[in-house]
Each structure stands twice: as C-alpha cells, then as structure tokens.
C-alpha cells in the first residue's frame, strides 16, 4: 500500500466490504445492491481504495480481461466503479486513485486499460482517449423486411456454452475492441436474472453460425437483446425473422453493437419513406482506452498480413516514464516487435497513440487537430499498420 501524506492507496481489507459499497453507492448514485453484487463479482483483490486517515474516500474496480485487435487478444484491465466520496471531491483523492492504479498495472506489464467515462475531462488527465463505440439501437419490428427460414433455431442449454464462446471468439477476431470476457461476465450474459430469458443458436447445414440471448418485459417495452453473435448473413437474417415474428405483440427490438452493425446491413431497405432510418440510436456511448505498457501493447496486437515495415515513434507519457521516449515498431507477417530506440519520426502523446491503436482515428486526422507530428509518408505507414474495422464493444462494465 502506497502512502501520500495522510492518504493511502491499496487493496481494501476484507472487513471493509460494506464501507466500500456504501462509499461507491453514495459517490455514483447507484443502488447499493448493484454495487455490492459487482464488488462480489470482481473480488476484493480487484478493488483499489484510497483512505484518508483510515477512512475510505475513493475506490474503483479492475476487471482483468482482454480486447481483440488485429485478430489477437491483448491483455486489458477494465476500470469500473470509479467513485470519490461527495465531501472529498476536488481534494486530489481521485488523482491518487487513478495514478496508483496505472502505476500498478504498468509494473505488472498489463498492455491496456479501458473504461466508460462519466466525464471525459477527468480521464483525459490520465491520458485515456476516446477509442471506440458502443451504440444501442432500436428497430421497429414492422420494418423488418427479410424472411429467412434457412437455419434451425436450437434452444441453448449449458452444454452449448463452449460452442457459444467459440463462436464469440471467431467473431471477435474479425473485429476491433471486442472483449475477452471473464467467466462472471459470461454468466451475466447467458443467464440474465432480471426478466424471462430466451436463448437460441442458429444451425445451418450442420454448422453453428450464430446465437442470441434476449429478454422480454411488458408489451410496451422493446425486446432486449442481452448477447448476440452473427457469423453469417443467413444467421443474421434468421434472427431478424425470429424477431419479426413478434410484430403483432411487441413494437421493437433493442441491442448494442458497433457503427457497422450487421443487423442493419442485412435489411433490404434501411430507410422508411426514403428519408428516415428504420433503426434509431437510442444511446451513443464512446469508451476510452489507455496504453499502459507501450512495448506490450504494440507487440501483442495483430497487424495487416503482408505488411513488412518499421515505424519510428517518439512518445510522450508524463505519467508512466517507461512509456516515454523513442520506440521502433517492426511489423512482419502480421506481428510486431518493439525496440526502445529509433529515429523518432512520428511524435505524439500516449493518449493519441491509444486512439490510433484501436483504429478509432487515423493519424492524418490527428495531425489536422495538431495532436501528432510526422511526414506524409510516415503517417500513411502508421495508418496502414493500425487500419481495420471500426472498434466497438457491446458489453458495459
């Protein structure tokens, strides 16, 4: 446990569970039952606490998991339940909490950290930057204009869980930003407890091509998709047809995904009356990413096949000195290696590197904002290295 004046940072004691839950409930204005359940899921060892003279004044939770970039799993620590006691805000306890957490993760060699921000400005101070989407869509069932009967809908049982995880990983490898979920998060997706749950796999020509988990409430409420994986157009259209079958009793279906959502692209028409989109985005949310360990992050993601080149970076990281300085990134056969040296042809901050790393923004776009320096050739090379699908996450954490 590290100490600063009368403040201390570290792992809470086992007897501080209730104190911590009360602190975060008050700080975040969320139900105490939700806070307590999430702390229990995370485990006390994944909670970090700041105390002032022995009193808990700030806390957060860590979710050790992974994110998929370039077809490879990169270790990532998700940050959740970040809260400061209302009477302690503005006193530096939040900064000590975040700095202590990042220094610890860097010491462990964790490559990345991601979070959903309540406020951008606070997390920008610690070099998190917006790096991907989570979009919640709502689609009126009467506007579904596909009728796909190929593919059998098989009810999911626990024996299917390994197959679901295999399909999810196959899809995740083709995307940018999808999570490698911990087991407790999988449990929440596959066995939601709040409403009656319905679960189906799409089996087509002997192959499992997708699955869906959804809940139903009242007739005036949308069907809520809890988890969705579509590997083929047939599977996507079959699931759209499944939801269209509810059109006489339910108005719409809601789900979360990315900006290139397969459900929307599988509709025959995306507009109503030639002007209005069928699906509406009811909640746009951007998550933030932080490069915690430059060498680990750059060497563990995947890169475009057939691209063999070296990128010379000059990175500024005022918080974590191990990330600060010049690095040479060598790309060959879809993988990268990093040396702490090079010519420093592209100069940028660690925050801007995160947004490029995920594929959220191109280096040329950041140069137009004055956030990166480099020649046209070097920025084009960097853009090619980190090109790929638009990054997104369906899960909240």
3-state secondary structure 343-376: CCCEEEEHHHHHHHHCCCCCHHHHHHCCCEECCH
Ranges in the chain, pLDDT < 50: 1, 3
Catalogue all structural domains in the chain, each as residue range(s) with its CATH number: 2-127 (3.40.630.30), 137-285 (3.40.630.30), 293-385 (3.30.1050.10)
How far CA 163 is from CA of 200, 210, 211, 331, 385, in Å, comes to 12, 10, 10, 33, 32
Partners of 134 in the β-ladder: 285
Partners of 154 in the β-ladder: 201
Residues 58, 261: Cα–Cα separation, whole Å = 38
Q: Which of 262, 266, 194, 204 is nearest to 228 (CA)?
A: 262
The pLDDT of residue 5 is 63
Q: Answer for the pair 80, 60: CB distance below 8 angstroms, yes or no.
A: yes
Residues in the chain: 397
Residues 84, 95: Cα–Cα separation, whole Å = 10
The pLDDT of residue 24 is 87
The pLDDT of residue 4 is 55
- The secondary element (H helix, E strand) that includes residue 114 is strand 112-115
The pLDDT of residue 15 is 85
pTM of the model: 0.93
Q: Answer for the pair 141, 253: CB distance below 8 angstroms, yes or no.
A: yes
Provide CB contacts within 8 A for 74, sequence distance 6+: 66, 67, 68, 111, 112, 296, 297, 300, 301
Provide CB contacts within 8 A for 71, sequence distance 6+: 173, 174, 302, 334
The pLDDT of residue 33 is 81
Residues 85, 194: Cα–Cα separation, whole Å = 29
Number of neighbouring beta carbons within 10 Å of residue 278: 18
């Amino acid at each position: 446990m590290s100490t600063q004046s009368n403040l201390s940072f570290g792992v809470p004691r086992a007897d501080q569970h209730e104190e911590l839950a009360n602190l975060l409930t008050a700080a975040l204005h969320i139900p105490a039952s939700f806070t307590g359940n999430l702390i229990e899921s995370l485990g006390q060892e994944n909670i970090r606490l700041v105390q002032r003279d022995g009193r808990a004044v700030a806390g957060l939770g860590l979710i050790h998991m992974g994110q998929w970039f370039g077809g490879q799993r990169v270790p990532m620590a998700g940050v959740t339940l970040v809260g400061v006691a209302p009477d302690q805000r503005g006193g530096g306890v939040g900064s000590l909490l975040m700095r202590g957490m990042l220094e610890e993760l860097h010491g462990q060699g964790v490559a990345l950290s991601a979070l959903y921000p309540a406020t951008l400005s606070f997390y920008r101070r610690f070099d998190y930057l917006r790096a991907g989407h989570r979009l919640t869509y709502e689609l009126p069932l009467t506007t579904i204009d596909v009728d796909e009967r190929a593919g059998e809908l098989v009810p999911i049982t626990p024996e299917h869980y390994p197959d679901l995880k295999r399909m999810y990983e196959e899809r995740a490898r083709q995307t940018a930003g999808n999570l490698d979920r911990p087991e407790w998060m999988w449990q929440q997706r596959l066995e939601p407890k709040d409403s009656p749950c319905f679960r189906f796999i799409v089996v087509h020509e002997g192959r499992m091509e997708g699955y869906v988990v959804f809940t139903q409430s009242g007739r005036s409420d949308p069907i809520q998709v809890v988890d969705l994986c579509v590997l083929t157009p047939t599977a996507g259209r079959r699931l759209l047809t499944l939801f269209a079958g509810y059109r006489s009793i339910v108005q719409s279906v809601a789900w979360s995904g990315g900006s290139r959502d397969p459900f929307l692209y599988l509709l025959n028409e995306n507009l109503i009356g030639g002007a209005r989109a069928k699906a509406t985005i009811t909640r746009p949310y951007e998550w933030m990413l932080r490069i915690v360990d430059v060498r680990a992050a750059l060497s563990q993601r995947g890169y475009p096949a057939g691209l063999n080149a070296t990128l010379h970076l000059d990175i500024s990281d005022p918080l974590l000195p191990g990330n600060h300085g010049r690095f040479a990134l060598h790309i060959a056969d879809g993988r990268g290696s990093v040396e702490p040296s090079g010519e420093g042809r592209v100069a940028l901050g660690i925050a801007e590197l995160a947004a490029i790393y995920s594929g959220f923004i191109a280096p040329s776009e950041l140069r137009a904002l004055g956030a990166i320096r480099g020649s046209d050739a070097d920025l084009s090379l960097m853009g090619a290295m980190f090109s790929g699908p638009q990054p997104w996450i369906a899960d909240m954490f």
